[in-house]
Amino acid sequence: MPVRTSTSGLVAQFYLAEIGTEHQNKSLQLSLWDPGEGMQSMEILDPNGNAVNFTCEVTYSIGGGYPSCAPTSSSCVSAYCLDVTSKVFDGKLAVLTVPLAGLDWATFPDNWFEIRYTRSSSGSSVDWTTWGVQILGDPVRLLE
Protein backbone atom coordinates (compact mmCIF):
# COMPACT_ATOMS: atom_id res chain seq x y z
CA MET A 1 0.00 0.00 0.00
CA PRO A 2 1.46 3.40 -0.90
CA VAL A 3 1.51 5.94 1.92
CA ARG A 4 2.26 9.67 1.83
CA THR A 5 3.11 11.59 4.96
CA SER A 6 3.34 15.34 4.87
CA THR A 7 3.94 17.44 7.93
CA SER A 8 5.23 20.78 9.02
CA GLY A 9 4.65 19.74 12.63
CA LEU A 10 6.99 17.64 14.73
CA VAL A 11 4.91 14.44 14.55
CA ALA A 12 3.11 12.52 11.79
CA GLN A 13 1.09 9.60 13.13
CA PHE A 14 -1.18 7.22 11.23
CA TYR A 15 -2.97 3.91 11.63
CA LEU A 16 -1.02 0.84 10.57
CA ALA A 17 -3.29 -2.17 11.14
CA GLU A 18 -6.10 -3.46 13.28
CA ILE A 19 -4.92 -6.70 14.90
CA GLY A 20 -7.38 -8.93 16.74
CA THR A 21 -6.62 -10.69 20.01
CA GLU A 22 -6.51 -14.06 18.19
CA HIS A 23 -3.04 -12.97 17.03
CA GLN A 24 -1.66 -12.00 20.46
CA ASN A 25 0.96 -14.78 20.54
CA LYS A 26 2.20 -14.19 17.00
CA SER A 27 4.33 -11.51 15.33
CA LEU A 28 3.50 -8.49 13.21
CA GLN A 29 5.79 -8.08 10.20
CA LEU A 30 5.94 -4.68 8.53
CA SER A 31 7.77 -4.16 5.22
CA LEU A 32 8.63 -0.51 4.53
CA TRP A 33 10.11 0.65 1.25
CA ASP A 34 12.15 3.85 1.52
CA PRO A 35 10.70 5.03 4.86
CA GLY A 36 11.19 8.24 6.76
CA GLU A 37 12.72 10.82 4.41
CA GLY A 38 12.91 14.19 6.09
CA MET A 39 12.09 12.66 9.46
CA GLN A 40 14.28 11.86 12.45
CA SER A 41 12.75 8.70 13.90
CA MET A 42 9.95 6.18 13.48
CA GLU A 43 8.12 4.12 16.10
CA ILE A 44 5.48 1.38 16.07
CA LEU A 45 2.79 2.07 18.69
CA ASP A 46 0.44 -0.35 20.43
CA PRO A 47 -3.23 0.65 20.80
CA ASN A 48 -2.40 2.46 24.08
CA GLY A 49 0.09 4.68 22.21
CA ASN A 50 3.19 3.02 23.70
CA ALA A 51 6.21 2.34 21.49
CA VAL A 52 6.77 -1.42 21.08
CA ASN A 53 9.97 -3.40 20.61
CA PHE A 54 10.88 -4.75 17.18
CA THR A 55 13.71 -6.27 15.21
CA CYS A 56 14.70 -4.81 11.87
CA GLU A 57 16.56 -5.98 8.79
CA VAL A 58 17.24 -4.36 5.42
CA THR A 59 16.39 -7.10 2.93
CA TYR A 60 16.81 -5.23 -0.38
CA SER A 61 18.87 -2.22 -1.42
CA ILE A 62 19.30 -0.25 -4.64
CA GLY A 63 22.91 0.82 -4.18
CA GLY A 64 24.42 2.19 -1.01
CA GLY A 65 24.72 -1.08 0.90
CA TYR A 66 22.68 -2.49 3.73
CA PRO A 67 22.58 -0.13 6.72
CA SER A 68 21.96 -1.38 10.22
CA CYS A 69 18.39 -0.81 11.24
CA ALA A 70 18.40 -2.00 14.83
CA PRO A 71 16.15 -0.01 17.17
CA THR A 72 18.12 2.81 18.74
CA SER A 73 17.60 5.66 21.14
CA SER A 74 20.38 7.94 19.86
CA SER A 75 18.06 10.33 18.03
CA CYS A 76 14.78 8.89 19.21
CA VAL A 77 11.94 9.65 21.56
CA SER A 78 11.84 6.15 23.09
CA ALA A 79 14.12 3.12 23.31
CA TYR A 80 12.02 1.40 20.64
CA CYS A 81 12.47 3.55 17.59
CA LEU A 82 14.26 3.56 14.29
CA ASP A 83 16.67 6.35 13.35
CA VAL A 84 15.66 7.45 9.84
CA THR A 85 17.83 10.58 9.56
CA SER A 86 19.95 11.38 6.51
CA LYS A 87 17.77 9.34 4.13
CA VAL A 88 19.45 6.18 5.46
CA PHE A 89 16.68 3.99 3.97
CA ASP A 90 16.52 5.73 0.58
CA GLY A 91 16.00 2.94 -1.99
CA LYS A 92 15.91 0.23 0.68
CA LEU A 93 13.40 -2.27 2.03
CA ALA A 94 13.33 -2.36 5.83
CA VAL A 95 11.47 -5.28 7.40
CA LEU A 96 10.37 -4.76 11.02
CA THR A 97 9.11 -7.67 13.13
CA VAL A 98 7.11 -6.88 16.27
CA PRO A 99 6.49 -9.69 18.77
CA LEU A 100 2.87 -9.43 19.86
CA ALA A 101 3.24 -11.82 22.82
CA GLY A 102 3.73 -10.05 26.12
CA LEU A 103 1.71 -6.95 25.20
CA ASP A 104 -1.05 -6.05 27.68
CA TRP A 105 -3.99 -6.74 25.35
CA ALA A 106 -6.54 -6.42 28.19
CA THR A 107 -5.80 -2.68 28.51
CA PHE A 108 -6.12 -1.80 24.81
CA PRO A 109 -9.06 0.54 24.02
CA ASP A 110 -9.16 -0.94 20.48
CA ASN A 111 -6.88 -3.11 18.35
CA TRP A 112 -5.32 -0.42 16.13
CA PHE A 113 -1.52 -0.28 15.95
CA GLU A 114 0.03 2.92 14.57
CA ILE A 115 3.24 4.35 13.15
CA ARG A 116 4.64 7.61 14.54
CA TYR A 117 7.23 9.65 12.65
CA THR A 118 9.02 12.39 14.56
CA ARG A 119 11.12 15.02 12.82
CA SER A 120 13.75 17.42 14.00
CA SER A 121 12.65 20.90 15.01
CA SER A 122 13.50 22.53 11.68
CA GLY A 123 11.95 22.24 8.24
CA SER A 124 9.08 20.08 7.04
CA SER A 125 8.77 16.61 5.57
CA VAL A 126 7.01 14.87 2.72
CA ASP A 127 7.62 11.13 2.50
CA TRP A 128 6.33 8.62 -0.02
CA THR A 129 6.67 5.04 1.09
CA THR A 130 5.13 1.70 0.24
CA TRP A 131 4.46 -0.76 2.99
CA GLY A 132 2.90 -4.13 3.66
CA VAL A 133 1.72 -5.78 6.87
CA GLN A 134 1.31 -9.44 7.71
CA ILE A 135 0.89 -11.64 10.76
CA LEU A 136 3.47 -14.40 11.25
CA GLY A 137 2.79 -17.53 13.24
CA ASP A 138 -0.36 -19.09 11.84
CA PRO A 139 0.14 -22.84 11.79
CA VAL A 140 0.09 -24.82 8.58
CA ARG A 141 -1.45 -28.29 8.70
CA LEU A 142 -0.73 -30.97 6.14
CA LEU A 143 -3.48 -33.53 5.72
CA GLU A 144 -3.38 -36.88 4.01
The pTM of this model reads 0.83
Within 10 Å of residue 83's Cβ, how many Cβ atoms?
22
Instruction: Report yes or no: 43 and 82 within 8 Å, Cβ to Cβ.
Output: yes
| pLDDT confidence band for 119 (50 / 70 / 90) | confident
Which residues are within 8 A (CB) of 107 and not within 5 positions of it... i.e. 6 or more apart? 48
Q: What is the pLDDT of residues 35-53, one digit of tens each?
A: 877 778 889 999 999 999 9
Other CB atoms within 10 Å distance of the CB of residue 140: 4
Q: What is the pLDDT of residue 44?
A: 94
- How is residue 113 annotated by DSSP? E
